[in-house]
Amino acid sequence: MAQPTSGLGTPNAATPTAAKDENVIPVKRVPLTASDAAQQEIVTILVGSESKPYRLHKDLLRDRSPYFATRLKDCWDGTQEEIELKDVSIRAFEVAIDWMYTGRVPDYVANESGGRGPLAAELPELYHAADLLMMIELQNQLIDTDLSAENREGLVWGLRSVADAHAYEILHTPLYQLILRDCAKHLVNDPLSRDKFDAEMAAVREYPQAVLDMFRAFNDYHNSNWPYPHEDYWCKFHIHPDGQECHLQKQPHAR
């Protein structure tokens, strides 16, 4: 991945620039019934460096993702029946599939040790995939899942999460702001031991911009006395396209 150059993320960001491109096909929300699914055409998506194949319904992909709506233009006339998706991990794409077909995200996902862990622990990777696929509703739902206390199981965003955000190039997203705020809050109120702090900072130092962003976050935390978490709202970290009201209507959260 290219070295990130962005600074702090911006809450309530506008729709990603790519989604406003005149070549991107607008998304229509059309429910997929069992009978519809049986009649729809299928396309194969080859995911990750392993090119793992997934056979999915074309119309569903178009409906849920402007990215796929654009990529599938060549499939309309039968000239292309496979799409390569190298920049998304298999784990993240399977979460996207669950969301496309059910409207929900799982509480647990596969982790690096071969087991299953809380979805929140892998959020930078999953959010990166949703961002690339222009799935704004999925991005917002991932934020809601992270902020839901019952799904976090004591997890907090730490310094390694800041490094992960740079590795997955999600600096332009509201999630990055959430990670920075949470990391600053918990490091100030529950400091790490010297050895653990040095170990986590080693990952952050690979990204000079991350070090600057963390200093800004600490400074903001001290100077502005963030009303966090009691007066913050989940929708602060959503992407709200122009003119779209947040479905949460300022629902407070406890963190």
User: What domains can be seen in the chain, in order of their start residue?
Assistant: 17-237 (3.30.710.10)
Per-residue pLDDT tens over the stretch 17-41 = 333 333 333 334 444 554 455 556 8
Phi, psi of 110 (to 5 degrees): -65, 140
State both tokens at 168.
Answer: 């997955």
Predicted structure pTM score = 0.75
The two tokens of residue 204 are: 């952050």
d(CA 95, CA 225): 36
- Which residues have a Cβ under 8 Å from the Cβ of 51 and sit 6 or more positions away? 84
Tell me, rounded to whole angstroms, the distance of Cα 18 from its chain centroid. Answer: 16
Q: CA 253, CA 175: separation in Å to the nearest integer?
A: 16
Digitized pLDDT (tens) for each residue of the chain, 255 residues in all: 433 333 323 233 333 333 333 333 333 444 455 445 555 688 999 999 999 999 999 999 999 999 999 998 865 555 557 899 999 999 999 999 999 999 988 878 877 777 787 777 788 999 999 999 999 999 998 988 777 754 455 556 778 889 999 999 999 999 998 888 888 888 887 777 888 888 888 888 899 999 899 888 888 887 775 554 434 566 778 887 766 667 665 455 544
- Tell me the residue type at 209: Q
